[in-house]
Amino acid sequence: MYELEARNLQMKFGGVTAIAGLDLVVEEGEIRGLIGPNGAGKTTFFNACSGRYPITAGEIRYRGHTISGLKPHEIAAQGLVRTFQHVTLFKKFSVLKNVMAGNYLHAQHSYWGSLLRTRKTREAEAGSERRAREILDFIGLGHIAHQQAATLAHGHQKMLGIAIALAAEPRMLLLDEPCAGMNNDESREMIALVRRIRDTGITIMLIEHDMKVVMGLCDRITVLNFGNNIADGTPEEVRANPEVREAYLGSQAHVA
């Protein structure tokens, strides 16, 4: 059983084919890089996996269950959670409340509990807050838990995005350009963080444009071009693959 499995996946938007019959498998516990030129279909693949857009044909399976056709909240409930390329937060919430909101799936919410403030509800909320603080400490944002999310530096906002995803207690994370717009120091911090997340047993798939990051971080790399999987392998294999150089980087390019 694979962690994530796409079979003959197709995504079409009107006349535009974003993904054309993609086959892809991700093993449990790996850090998988997803690279390719702009428009190759990387983010579209994440959108398909997270249920944001309906797929045109094919199938996506997560831990043996078909998830294509499910709604985003149903997929998140199965343990497959994504982050977004652009900073996506509850901006007016505090950092802590952002993570608590992300903890929805495990907060045992009920309407009667909210109204009557039963003991069970109060305990669940206290537990949710505890969990949120743990996650913030793990990420390294514990010291700014009460700051408003909108006021955070860009790097911290990206990290908070991951904290929200972790609060849903996923078994697999899809990270869409976690290092986008970061300076070198922030990037290094993010790379370390992704490794630490994997070490807690969460499988990771990430889209990234910075080759240094991808090559250094990922166990395996999948290369997309025009919605097709053109190469799949360890960083060394992908780097040596002439088709990748040709299609993705141009025949003259030198892969870092």
| Residues within the interface to other proteins (CB under 8 A) | 50, 52, 71-73, 76-77, 81-82, 84, 88-93, 97, 100-102, 104-105, 107, 109, 111, 113-115, 117, 121-122, 124-125, 128, 164-165, 167-168
Rank residues 71 and 212 by Cβ distance to other proteins and give the closer one: 71
Report the C-alpha gap between 125 and 157 in whole angstroms: 24
In the complex with other proteins, which residue's Cβ is closer, 27 or 123? 123
For CA atoms 192, 168, 91, 138, the dihedral sign is: negative
- The minimum distance between CB 197 and other proteins, in angstroms, equals 17
Name the strand (E) or helix (H) holding 221. Answer: strand 220-225
CB of 83 to other proteins, least distance (A): 8
Pick the closer one to other proteins by CB: 122 or 143: 122
Cβ burial 23-50 (10 Å sphere, 16+ → b, else e): ebebeeeebbbbbbeeebbbbbbbbbbb
Q: Is 89 helix (H, G, I), strand (E, B) or coil?
A: coil
Provide DSSP, 22-64. Answer: EEEEE-TT-EEEEE-STTSSHHHHHHHHTTSS--SEEEEEETT
The residue among 1 and 115 lying less far from other proteins, judged by its C-beta, is 115
Least Å distance, CB 81 to other proteins, is 7
Q: Name the minimum Å distance from CB 101 to other proteins.
A: 4
Q: What's the CA gap between 106 and 127, in Å, rounded?
A: 9
Shorter beta-carbon distance to other proteins: residue 52 or 239: 52
Query: Is 158:140 a contact under the CB 8 Å cutoff?
Result: no
Closest CB 113 distance from other proteins, rounded Å: 8
